[in-house]
């Protein structure tokens, strides 16, 4: 790890990130963070993060927007809610992570590709059928991210099929049209961050 | 007791054995499962990465479908359960959010005014059916079987089964009611990695390694789970954990409903016991 200090100039800082995500209920409490580190200590995967959750909150408040959105921390989060359940300031940390993920995906940030591919495939399938169709999700996600990795993944898919756990047929819900209208309207109303 | 049954997408595919075993034990324990008519996907965690109003609207539609019946909605999948509870809580706490979700639902000709109680299947069994009833149905006590009670994350927090998300005890109580022994299991609410198995496999494998190692050290014969994704990660990827860490784990991962079926003396096939990478069929020899 480099021992060179990073010099930051005020003009490179962006203090708006918190404001941009603050409309999501519960997120504004990031301002109350006391930097105690309970989140990082509770996180089952913080060891794999360059910037741990505690640090991410410090970075957000310091205006280091790019470092947060281009970092790996948000994509390492498994959404297990352990941090938020223990946070003494009751910050809904998982929701903050989700909001940062949405921002990063929208801005096409580094490291966002894999999660974006998974979410895109998922949304497409639910819009098509109203439900997830697991074998399609696996296949589509593979094709989007690592088309040459199919050989490695095939044995797992074959085993699941043999165990009768990957039916090929997909069920489409009866009121799929109504659901599509709900999804379209929700998409229009959300997605403001 | 009649409940609105919300199986969720996984129970029709990778977690088919969970659906089969829940349906198999429902009759004996006196639960009438009325499947939610025309239910849709809960959005899992993937939707929150895209748009939070979309995510809340998906669960709100399911809640709205059930509101008409006046029944509690019961989900065996912990992710579905967490989404239902979270949606119910957010809609009642945040009016601005509710008004957006209301508009989205209205586009589909639906309205939801709150009030539906969402429960996890484990919660329904332990709290509503009751452990006395469960005990009375045990024909083959699972005496001597050591079980690691693995809750995973979404059932435990932050909208979870009990006030104390750190130390839930419901699963242990159920395991003991079946005659088996619940081993002390410090990993019980630590995450299995969830969908990271798709996006960051090396991380999820390590989490699953820890879950398996802890169970082995506790001397567990099997791991009891309450969530389709936990079962899939710990069981289906057990071979890959072994290759990555040079281990030789071979620990069956069973849904709590399968353990119930075993103790009730139900047919192994009806419980989907063979639908696993490490089949739990050897457990059949236990206690009989």
pLDDT by position in tens, chain B (length 288): 999 999 999 999 999 999 999 999 999 999 999 999 999 999 887 777 778 899 999 999 999 999 989 999 999 999 999 999 999 999 999 999 999 999 999 999 999 999 999 999 999 999 999 999 999 999 999 999 999 999 999 999 888 776 567 889 999 999 999 999 999 999 999 999 998 998 899 999 999 999 999 999 999 999 999 999 999 999 999 999 999 999 999 999 999 999 999 999 999 999 999 999 998 877 766 544
Which residue in the block uniquely carries the two structure tokens 């639910």? A126
Q: Which of A 4-63 lie inside 8 A of B, CB atoms? A: 24-25, 44-45, 48
Residue A157: burial class (beta carbons within 10 Å; 0-12, 13-18, 19+): middle
**What per-residue confidence (pLDDT) applies to B287?**
46
Alpha-carbon span A45 to B76, nearest angstrom: 26
Helix (H, G, I), strand (E, B) or coil at B114: coil
| Beta strands B73-75; B118-120: pairing state | parallel
CATH architecture of B138-285: 3-Layer(aba) Sandwich (3.40)
Residue A16: its pLDDT value, please?
81
Q: Which residue of B has its CA nearest to A166?
A: B13
Kindly state the average pLDDT of the residues A169-178. 94
Chain A CB contacts of B230 under 8 Å are none
- Beta B253-255 vs B73-75: how paired, if at all? unpaired
To probe the interface with A, which of B13, B86, B111, B204 has the most A CB atoms within 10 Å? B13
Buried b (16+ CB within 10 A) or exposed e, B20-50: bbbbbbbebbebebeebeebbbbbbbbbbbb
Residues 6+ apart with CB under 8 A from B72: B3, B4, B116, B117, B118, B119, B124
CA distance B273 to B252: 10
- The three-state secondary structure class of B120 is strand
Question: Is the bond into A83 cis (omega within 30 degrees of 0)?
Answer: no
Verify whether the Cβ–Cβ distance A105 to B109 is below 8 Å: no
Q: Is the pTM of this model over 0.90?
A: yes
Which tops the pLDDT comparison, B49 or A126?
A: A126
Quick check: A109 contacting B, CB < 8 Å? no
Residue A191 above 70 pLDDT?
Answer: no
pLDDT of residue B286: 56
Could you tell me the pLDDT band of residue A83, with boundaries at 50, 70 and 90? very high
CB contact under 8 A, B13 and A181: no
Three-state SS for B26? helix
Are the beta carbons of A66 and A23 closer than 8 angstroms? Answer: no
Q: Distance (Å, rounded) from C-alpha A121 to C-alpha A51?
A: 28
User: Is the Cβ pair A182, B153 closer than 8 Å?
Assistant: no
CB nearest A132 (choices: B9, B49, B109): B9
CA dist list (Å): A59 to A43, A143, B187, B241, B278: 18, 35, 31, 35, 44
Interface predicted TM-score of the whole assembly (ipTM), two decimals: 0.91
Q: Beta strand B2-5 with B32-35: parallel, antiparallel or unpaired?
A: parallel
For residue B47, the model assigns a pLDDT of 73
CATH 1.20.1050.140 given to domain B2-119? yes
B108 and A179 within 8 Å at the Cβ level: the answer is yes
A132: nearest CB among B41, B96, B109: B41
pLDDT on residue B130: 97
Mean pLDDT of A122-136: 91
> Rounded to whole angstroms, what are the CA distances from A57 to A7, A34, A54, A101?
19, 10, 5, 14
pLDDT of A193 higher than 70:
no
DSSP A148: G
pLDDT tier, A23 (very low <50, low <70, confident <90, very high otherwise): confident
- Give me the domains of chain A, ranges plus CATH numbers: 10-106 (1.10.1060.10), 113-189 (no CATH)
Alpha helices in B115-200 (DSSP H): 121-123, 131-137, 170-177, 196-199
Q: What is the pLDDT of residue A192?
A: 54
Q: Where are the domains of chain B?
A: 2-119, 138-285
pLDDT at B256: 98
pLDDT digits over A24-81, tens only? 777 888 889 999 999 999 999 999 999 999 999 999 999 999 999 999 999 999 999 9
Using DSSP's 3-state secondary structure scheme, residue B183 falls into coil
- Nearest-angstrom CA–CA distance, B74 and B183: 27
Is the CB of A160 less than 8 angstroms away from the CB of B14?
yes
Residue from the list A118, A133, A173 with its beta carbon closest to the beta carbon of B46: A118
């Amino acid at each position: 790890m480099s021992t060179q200090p990073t010099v930051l100039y005020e003009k490179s800082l962006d203090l708006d990130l918190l404001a941009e995500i603050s409309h999501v209920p519960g997120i504004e409490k990031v301002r109350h963070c006391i930097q105690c580190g309970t989140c990082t200590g509770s996180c089952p995967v913080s060891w794999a993060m360059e910037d741990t959750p505690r640090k991410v909150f410090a970075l957000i408040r310091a205006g280091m927007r790019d470092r947060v959105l281009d970092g790996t921390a948000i994509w390492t989060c498994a959404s297990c809610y352990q941090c938020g359940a223990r946070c003494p300031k009751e910050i809904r940390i998982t929701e903050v992570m989700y909001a940062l993920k949405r921002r990063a995906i929208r801005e096409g940030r580094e490291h966002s590709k894999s999660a974006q591919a998974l979410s895109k495939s998922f949304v497409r399938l639910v819009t098509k059928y109203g439900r997830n169709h697991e074998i399609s999700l696996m296949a589509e996600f593979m094709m989007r991210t690592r088309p040459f990795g199919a050989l490695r993944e095939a044995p797992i898919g074959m085993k699941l099929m043999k165990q009768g756990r990957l039916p090929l047929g997909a069920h489409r819900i009866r009121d799929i049209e109504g659901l599509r209208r709900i999804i379209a309207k929700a998409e229009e109303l959300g997605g403001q961050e | 007791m009649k409940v609105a049954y919300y199986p969720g997408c996984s129970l029709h595919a990778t977690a088919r054995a969970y659906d089969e075993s829940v349906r198999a034990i429902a009759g004996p324990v006196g639960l009438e499962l009325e499947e939610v008519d025309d239910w849709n996907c809960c959005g899992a965690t993937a939707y929150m990465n895209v748009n939070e109003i979309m995510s809340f609207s998906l669960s709100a539609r399911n809640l709205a479908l059930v509101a008409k019946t006046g029944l509690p909605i019961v989900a065996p999948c912990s992710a579905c359960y967490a989404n239902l509870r979270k949606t119910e809580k957010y809609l009642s706490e945040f009016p601005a959010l509710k008004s957006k979700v209301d508009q989205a639902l209205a586009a589909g000709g639906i309205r939801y005014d709150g009030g539906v109680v969402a429960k996890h299947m484990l919660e329904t069994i332990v709290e509503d059916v009751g452990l006395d009833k469960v005990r009375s149905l045990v024909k083959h006590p699972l005496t001597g079987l050591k079980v690691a009670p693995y809750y995973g994350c979404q059932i435990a927090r932050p909208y979870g089964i009990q006030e104390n998300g750190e130390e839930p005890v419901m699963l242990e109580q159920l395991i003991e009611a079946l005659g088996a022994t619940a081993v002390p299991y410090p990993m019980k609410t630590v995450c299995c990695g969830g969908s990271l198995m798709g996006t960051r496999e090396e991380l999820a494998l390590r989490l699953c390694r820890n879950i398996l190692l802890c169970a082995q050290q506790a001397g567990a014969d099997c791991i009891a789970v309450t969530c389709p994704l936990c079962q899939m990660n710990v069981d289906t990827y057990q071979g890959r954990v072994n290759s990555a860490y040079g281990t030789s784990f071979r620990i069956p991962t069973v849904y709590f409903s399968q353990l119930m079926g075993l103790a009730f003396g139900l047919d192994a096939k009806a419980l989907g016991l063979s639908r696993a990478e490490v089949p739990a069929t050897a457990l059949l020899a236990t206690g009989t």
